Structure 1
Amino acid sequence: MNSQKIRFFRQRIPSFECIPGCHDCCGPVTTSSEEMSRLPRKTAAEHEAAMESLSCPHLADKGCTVYLERPLICRLFGTTPALPCPHGKRPAMMIDEKIEQQIHQFFKETRQVLV
C-alpha cells in the first residue's frame, strides 16, 4: 500500500533543474521506512560524518548518489513555498496544494527514520 502511495506522490511532484553542484537542500532528513529500504545501507561512521557536516550520507562530490530513489522529502524541496530553493529555482508549476497536504499526512502516518 505505501509503495503505491509513494509511486503516486512521486508522479505528482514537479521536477526542475537545480544549479549544478548545489547541495544546499541536501541535509539530514527523515523518510519512511519503506523509502529508506530502497537506499543503500551506510555505515554508522558515514552517518556520523554526514550529521557532523549537516549533510546527507548519500551526497557525494558529484551530487546525490541515490537521485532516482531519493525520498519524497528531497523531491519536495523547491516545489513548494514551504520548502523553497535558497537560490530561487523552481518548477514552472509548483506542487498542487492538495497533493502536498496528502504527502505531509503520509509523513505523519508512517514511521519516519533518519536518512
Structure 2
Amino acid sequence: MTPNSQTIRFLRQRIPSFECIVGCHDCCGPVTTSPEEMSRLPRKTAAEHETALAELSCPHLAEKGCTVYLERPLICRLFGTTPALPCPHGRRPEFMIAPQIEQQIHHYMASTRQVLV
C-alpha cells in the first residue's frame, strides 16, 4: 500500500456519511482528483469525458446515480459534510466533518497533482 493510499484510506474513514435524496445528483459535476484515486475508477473514453464536461456532469454518473459510489473521490465525499460544500437540499450527517480532517483533505488535494475525473 502506497503512502497516498494510506492517506486516502485514513481520510475516507473520517468523513461522516449521510443519506442523499434518492435521484439527487445536484453535487455531481466535474471534479478533480488525485491520480491515486483516479486509478481506482473505471476508465472512460475521451468522448465520455467531453460529453460529461459539456453537461457539467461527471462521466461516472448514470441515470440511477453514481456508478463508482464506493470508490468516489474525497471531494465527492466532502459534499454535504462541511459548511463549505453544503447539500442544496439541506441533507447532512448528524455531526459535520471535523475541521482538522477537512484541512487534511484540502492539504492532500493541494499536495498531489489533480486530474479531471
- TM-score band (shorter)? over 0.9
Counterpart-to-counterpart distance in 2, 1:111 and 1:48: 21
- Give the structure-1-normalised TM-score: 0.99
Partner of 1:100: 102
Partner of 2:65: 63
Secondary structure (helix, strand or coil) at the match of 1:12 reads: coil
Stretches of 4+ aligned residues off by more than 6 angstroms: none
Matches of residues 22-101 of structure 1 in structure 2 within 5 Å?
A: 22-101=24-103
Amino acid at match of 1:61: E
Which sections of structure 1, spanning at least 5 residues, go unmatched?
A: none
Give the superposition deviation at 1:113.
0.3
After superposition, the CA RMSD in angstroms is 0.3
Partner of 2:8: 6
Secondary structure (helix, strand or coil) at the match of 1:20 reads: coil
Counterpart-to-counterpart distance in 2, 1:55 and 1:37: 20
Give the superposition deviation at 1:40.
0.2
- Give the structure-2-normalised TM-score: 0.98
Counterpart-to-counterpart distance in 1, 2:50 and 2:42: 16
The alignment of Structure 1 onto Structure 2 pairs a total of residues equal to 115
Which sections of structure 2, spanning at least 5 residues, go unmatched?
A: none
What is the percentage of aligned positions where both structures have the same residue? 82
